[in-house]
Each structure stands twice: as structure tokens, then as C-alpha cells.
Amino acid sequence: MSPFSSLHDYETFVYTLGSRFPCVVSSTLVVFRRGRAYAELAGDVIFPNGYRLSVYERLAWDDDPLTIMGYSYEVWCGSEEFFWYDSQPHPNDPTLAETDPHHKHVPPDAKHHRVTAPGLSFTRPNLDLLVREVCVLSGA
């Protein structure tokens, strides 16, 4: 069954992240129901060697499958932010058109230096892709 079939299935997907990825040291991710058809996912996923993935997603559903309405994913090592992903559209940047609005902010000048983010989606979970990326970075 798809993790996006229902909010309950997505909660199960989120809360079993550590069992799917041995590189995950711990997780504080929590799904907060904010209404009949709206929820938020927030918290951190902790990895070895001081790496942390900070997650925020706005989730919605009605009679349709779950969708991500917006997100922010930040990767940190200690107090240093390495890069982040967000879904803020940048229609005037043709270099991002391929994955618009999904993109990644990378050094140098991460606030203004953006690259495409293949694989990120509003209609399927992004967590597995992100956790795999941070597992590699952390050396786990």
C-alpha cells in the first residue's frame, strides 16, 4: 500500500523510518493533525557524526490521496547548515524549470544559489530520498 493512501498510512511510514534505515540514530518527527483534512509533519532525523535532517511538511487530503502542499528540508552538521530544499516557486529562474517548484539551495551563497531537485514530489513521500542522501553524507 502507498504511504500516501491515507494519513494513517503516512504516519506509519514516518514512524517506521528508523527500521527502514539503519543509519538513522533517532527521530523526533511527529505528524500533527490540524483539521479534518490538514496536518503537518515536523521534527528532526538524527544521523551519525552530528548530521541532522530538519523536516517540515504541510499535508492535505480530502477524498483524494494525501499530498504535500509545501515543505522545507534542511541538512545540518552540528551548527552548520549544509543545504536545504524548499518548494517556493522561482518562475523567473529558467535553470530551475525542470523540477519547478522543487529546488535545492547549495553553497556558496546558499540563499541565492539554487539547483534543480529531481525526485522531490508533492504526490509521493520525499523522506526516503532525503534520508538516503544524508546517510551517505554522514558516512553511515
Residue 1 has pLDDT above 70, yes or no: no
Question: Taking all residues of the chain, what is their mean pLDDT, rounded to a whole number?
Answer: 93
- Write the CB contacts of 7 (distance below 8 Å, at least 6 apart in sequence): 31, 33, 39, 59, 61, 66
pLDDT of residue 112: 85
- pTM attached to this predicted model: 0.93
- Write the CB contacts of 50 (distance below 8 Å, at least 6 apart in sequence): 77, 78
pLDDT in tens, 108-136: 988 888 999 999 999 999 999 999 999 99
